[in-house]
A and B are shown apart, each in its own frame.
Chain A
């Protein structure tokens, strides 16, 4: 069985500094996979390189097709979508225009149905549909970024730190939505510092440290791992209580 996304022995460098070293990962159809790790482990770098924002060395394929010759726009057309850490919304355009552009490559009739689905998933966006994206709250911007990505009907959605800087109640909301995506036939590759929340919804997990995967397995096994519990889950509790 071939995986939806397959990444083998990938190296990514910023000049002379090698930020990701020999990483391999797979995401299957209808699977939620998470990559957890501390700040600076190379998680964001890896996602950006899979999307084509950064160059990489190694083999990558999506739905059986080699991704090497395709640029960002081709990968979007293949069904790969990234919700980047900084969201990259069109701040001076309204919510509905942002969503509509998410379906830039999709036929208009299909886009109209996607819009209904996204509004059903995030009712808040429907309330704010005439508001400029730049004036939304952080949580709403995250919802809009996810909604915009979903408008393109991706097969695999890559989420980079969706919980960053958001209130716990909104984080719970976002993670609940990520869980719902599976039912809609969308696979998810989730990069998170909030390891506890990520491990709760994921099927499988990779633990990244200093540019390498140090552990991989089912989310339940990873959550039960003593080392992970000490360095990530424990740390998360302290981090949260400190806020």
Chain B
């Protein structure tokens, strides 16, 4: 192998790895705060990517209607659970979030969607749609069972993944889609050519990691999220609503998923079910990070990306096998290193 190929593969691996890092960080975040292993993370990727790709061709994606439908269900749940102490302020707030927000999104999408819509508007719409879906998904599927065991939450998570993937087939069809690149600029350094797209991937990944670090380290809400992750009862005793923490975690995860999707859809063709595989690679990174460590997850994600790049060059048939086999030695090592603990009850 010569140096040029090595550099190409490394570059490719790091670009993919950066996307996996974003997804892995979102998984760790959601698990720490809500104990949900977020299998539908991949659907956030697909929905973001394909909503953006459809908007770019001037069509209105079905995801925006899904957001409205989920919002109505979420509003109904809010009313049902608050039925004993129905206060006007509570109903207004719930209606604003669950009804007015997605309906406004639907109206705006129908108004502005067209072949000449600026790219920035399309990106913003795709992000908002997926953000709404992520928020309502937590309200509908996870908030009512937030106190149950990790296993129950995992099963619900698998259910959400299957449902959203099925809906994805309805919305986007079985054909793959590609979206327009964020930038067509390119930069050549020695033998390597950096496209504007891959630079955007690096830039946004670093921006998100720094942003999350600032959010968790320096804002009250970020600290409250960490506190919920560390000690749920302690958080409730100082008045932090675990439901609010859960909503914010899901909101962040869905936005991160959608951004990842929008970043990769100009590079590779995405199908309605591609997101799952991409999400799983983020999951591998999160597992290597023990579902707790953000830096370890980010490093592991880059490693997963590089292993994937090299294995697709040398043994492309076994690419996925090699990547997913990475998890085995990690699990063995972790189970040897960690003492056996029973699942915490709370």
Contacts and interface: CB of A to CB of B under 8 A. Distances in A.
A149 B233 CA distance: 13
Contact of B234 (A69, A88, A100, A151): A88
Interface in B192-249: 220, 223-224, 226-227, 230-231, 233-241
B85 interface: yes
A122 interface: no
A82 interface: yes
A148 B230 contact: no
B238 A102 contact: yes
Given A53-B233, A69-B84, A88-B233, A93 B223 contact: yes
B224 A104 contact: yes
Nearest to B221: A104
Contacts of B231: 88-91
A77 B239 contact: yes
Contacts, number: 67
Given A69-B84, A93-B223, A97-B223, A104 B238 contact: yes
Chain B: interface size category? 10 to 19
B226 A93 contact: yes
A87 B230 CA distance: 13
- Please report whether the interface of chain B is mostly helix, strand, loop or mixed according to DSSP: helix
A101 B237 contact: no
A95 to B, nearest CB: 13
A69 B224 CA distance: 24
Contacts of A149: 237-238
Interface in A34-85: 51, 53, 69-70, 72-73, 76-77, 81-82, 84
A66 to B, nearest CB: 10
Interface in A83-126: 84, 87-93, 97, 100-102, 104-105, 108
A211 interface: no
B84 A73 contact: no
A152 interface: yes
Interface string B101-140: 0000000000000000000000000000000000000000
B230 A76 contact: no
Contacts of B239: 72-73, 76-77, 104-105, 152
Contact of A69 (B85, B226, B236, B240): B85
Interface in B29-61: none
B227 A51 contact: no
A101 to B, nearest CB: 5
Contacts of B230: 90-93
Contacts of B237: 51, 72, 76, 81-82, 84, 88, 149
B233 A101 contact: no
A77 B237 CA distance: 10
Contacts of B235: 90, 101
Q: Which of B84, B231, B235, B239 has the most CB atoms of chain A within a 10 A radius of its CB?
A: B239
Contacts of B240: 73, 101, 104
Q: Which of B220, B233, B234, B237 has the most CB atoms of chain A within a 10 A radius of its CB?
A: B237
Nearest to B244: A73
A71 to B, nearest CB: 8
Given A92-B226, A100-B220, A104-B220, 13 more contacts: A72-B236, A73-B239, A89-B231, A89-B234, A90-B226, A90-B235, A93-B226, A93-B230, A101-B238, A101-B240, A104-B224, A105-B239, A149-B237
Interface of B: 84-85, 220, 223-224, 226-227, 230-231, 233-241
The 6 closest A-B pairs by CB, nearest first: A88-B234, A76-B239, A69-B85, A105-B239, A90-B230, A72-B236
29 contacts: A69-B84, A70-B85, A72-B236, A73-B239, A73-B241, A76-B237, A76-B239, A81-B237, A82-B237, A84-B233, A88-B231, A88-B234, A88-B237, A89-B231, A92-B226, A93-B223, A93-B230, A100-B223, A101-B227, A101-B235, A101-B238, A101-B240, A102-B238, A104-B220, A104-B224, A104-B238, A105-B239, A149-B237, A149-B238
